């Protein structure tokens, strides 16, 4: 066992302990775990309602580009926590498991390998290291699987006891960060569900999607604009949370408007516009990084690139007698708000609302192209189109 590996693990743990967003964190945990033992692929499951819910898969062979940690797919898959699957077995026994070749598992074992994903993706899984994520109350909160260890020449080899030791050490500490991030996400979801009680259209699924689309658009846009990987990784984490909160200001809108089954009258719509300001007020005191971004997004997500949006320039958010200002324009609108504007409208158009039917996908994309340079920042539209496949897959996952 090399000491340098353990020092490296400590350094990685220090880095990931700053990540507040659960999705970003899991992605990073998986990436780092794979680096520690030099593995080609991996996936993470979290326990949700007695199932192992498949959160992420990363695969260098299929997706290429090792440094680009965004190689996950939005998938929808869960497996029961029982001893029939490898992951389930590890969760039940609370022990790591080394398998040299998943296609040659002894028939005496209760578990077997599910080759469906291999078949779908034309990938061959061989060696697998499965590590349960156990918290300090001895509760299993998930499992991660590291797939196909490689030697210096890229040949697939077996995982060793040393690998398993390092992965366990890493997992034990990573669980602390993971549980904290799960709690943060739960607090935010609770905040959102309070908003949802007021506005049943603003579902958990909608806010999850808007958060996820925004991150995908941002990553592409930021790369295109020369922002470094490190800064992108840091910001996207905060962006997801802040984007999820874009409409919490709707809690302050009266029921008669919020729950209206048909079209809003002119005056009702004017009142509705204040949800941007009410939302911004909720985040106006604290100075934490995501409060600042949440405030920017709440306030500006209905501004339009051509200046025809709302609420426009407001001098004092807390002032009692608020009036809407002249719409902000172009780059005066913060980039995160320009991104969420597109993500939000895309989702609203794809979805059923009390006042509208879902639009067909083609009509939605035509509309977005049409509004490029009017409602939307053209460079944001361009990035959105470039990551279209991911956007569609997010739509499918949280639905």
Three-class DSSP category at 323: coil
Taking contact as CB under 5 A, which single stretch among the options 220-228, 236-244, 343-351, 367-375 is the one that binds Fe ion? 343-351
Which residues between 262 and 281 bind ligand C2E (CB under 6 A)? 263-264, 272
Any idea what the Cα angle at residue 96 is, between residues 94 and 100, rounded to 5°? Answer: 145
Q: Which of 151, 171, 211 is nearest to 33 (CA)?
A: 171
User: Among 98-106, 120-128, 172-180, 351-359, which window interacts with ligand C2E (CB under 6 A)?
Assistant: 351-359
> Which one among 32, 216, 344, 377 touches Fe ion, defined by CB under 5 A?
344
CB burial of residue 144 (10 Å; 0-12, 13-18, 19+)? buried
Write the binding mask 237 to 276 for Fe ion: x where contact by CB under 5 A, - elsewhere.
Answer: ----------x-----------------------------
55 forms part of the interface with Fe ion (CB under 5 A)? no
Cβ 148 vs Cβ 40: under 8 Å: yes
Q: Supply the minimum distance, in Å, between the C-beta of residue 396 and ligand C2E.
A: 20
Task: Give which of ligand SIN, ligand C2E, Fe ion, none residue 87 binds (C-beta under 5 to 8 Å, depending on kind).
Answer: ligand SIN
**Cα angle 56-61-66, degrees, rounded to a multiple of 5:** 75
Here's the x/- map for ligand C2E, 150-179, by CB under 6 A: it reads as ------------------------------
Place of tokens 């509004």: 371
Q: Which DSSP string corresponds to 134-201?
A: E-TTS-EEEEEEEEEEE-TTS-EE---HHHHHHHHHHHHHHHHHHHHHHHHHHHHHHHHHHHHHH-TT
Residue 77: φ, ψ to 5°: -160, 140
x/- map, 205-244, ligand C2E, by CB under 6 A: ----------------------------------------
DSSP 128: E
Which is nearer to ligand SIN, 82 or 268 (by Cβ)?
82
Residue 324 contact among ligand SIN, ligand C2E, Fe ion, none, beta carbon within 5 to 8 Å by kind: none
Q: What is the DSSP letter of 307?
A: S
Name the residues that contact ligand SIN, by CB under 6 A.
79, 85-87, 113-114, 117, 201, 203, 205-206, 351-353, 399
Tell me: does residue 355 bind ligand C2E (CB under 6 A): yes
Residues 6+ apart with CB under 8 A from 111: 83, 84, 85, 86, 88, 89, 105
Catalytic residue among 20, 236, 250, 328: 250
Taking the complex as a whole, the smallest distance from the CB of residue 43 to ligand C2E amounts, in Å, to: 33
236 belongs to the catalytic site: no
The Cα 265–Cα 65 span in angstroms is 52
Q: Which is nearer to ligand C2E, 71 or 344 (CB)?
A: 344
Q: Which residues are catalytically annotated?
A: 250
Positions that interact with ligand C2E (CB under 6 A):
260, 263-264, 272, 302, 344-345, 348-349, 353-356
Positions that interact with Fe ion (CB under 5 A):
247, 344
């Amino acid at each position: 066992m090399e000491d340098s590996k353990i020092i490296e693990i400590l350094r990685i743990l220090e880095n990931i302990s700053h990540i507040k967003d659960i999705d970003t964190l899991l992605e990073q945990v998986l990436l780092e775990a794979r680096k520690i033992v030099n593995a080609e692929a991996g996936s993470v499951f979290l326990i949700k309602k007695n199932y192992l819910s498949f959160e992420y898969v990363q695969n260098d062979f299929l997706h290429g580009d090792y440094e680009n940690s965004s190689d996950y797919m939005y998938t929808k898959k869960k497996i029961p926590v029982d001893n029939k699957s490898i992951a389930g077995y590890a969760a039940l026994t609370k022990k790591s498991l080394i398998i040299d070749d998943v296609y040659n598992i002894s028939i005496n074992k209760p578990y077997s390998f599910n080759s469906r994903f291999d078949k779908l993706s034309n990938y061959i899984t061989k060696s697998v290291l499965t590590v349960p994520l156990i918290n300090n109350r001895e509760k299993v909160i998930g499992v991660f699987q590291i797939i196909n260890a490689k030697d210096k020449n890229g040949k697939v080899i077996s995982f060793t006891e040393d690998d398993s030791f390092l992965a366990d050490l890493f997992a034990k500490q990573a669980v602390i960060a993971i549980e904290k991030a799960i709690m943060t996400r739960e607090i935010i979801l609770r905040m959102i569900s309070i908003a949802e009680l007021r506005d049943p259209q603003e579902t958990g699924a909608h806010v999850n999607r808007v958060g996820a689309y925004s991150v995908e658009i941002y990553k592409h846009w930021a790369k295109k604009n020369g922002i470094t990987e490190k800064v992108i990784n840091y910001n996207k984490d905060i962006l997801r949370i802040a984007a999820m909160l874009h409409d919490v200001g709707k809690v302050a809108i009266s029921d008669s408007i919020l729950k209206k089954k048909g079209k809003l009258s002119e005056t009702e719509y004017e009142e509705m516009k204040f949800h941007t300001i009410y939302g911004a007020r909720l985040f106006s005191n604290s100075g934490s990084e995501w409060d600042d971004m949440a405030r920017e997004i709440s306030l500006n997500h209905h501004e339009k690139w051509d200046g025809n949006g709302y609420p426009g320039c407001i001098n004092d958010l807390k002032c009692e007698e608020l009036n809407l200002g002249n719409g902000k324009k172009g780059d005066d609108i913060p980039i995160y708000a320009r991104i969420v504007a597109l993500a939000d409208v895309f989702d609203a158009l794809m979805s059923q609302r009390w006042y509208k039917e879902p639009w067909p996908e083609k009509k939605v994309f035509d509309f977005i192209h049409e509004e490029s340079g009017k409602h939307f920042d053209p460079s944001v539209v361009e990035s959105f189109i470039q990551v279209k496949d991911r956007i569609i897959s997010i739509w499918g996952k949280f639905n």
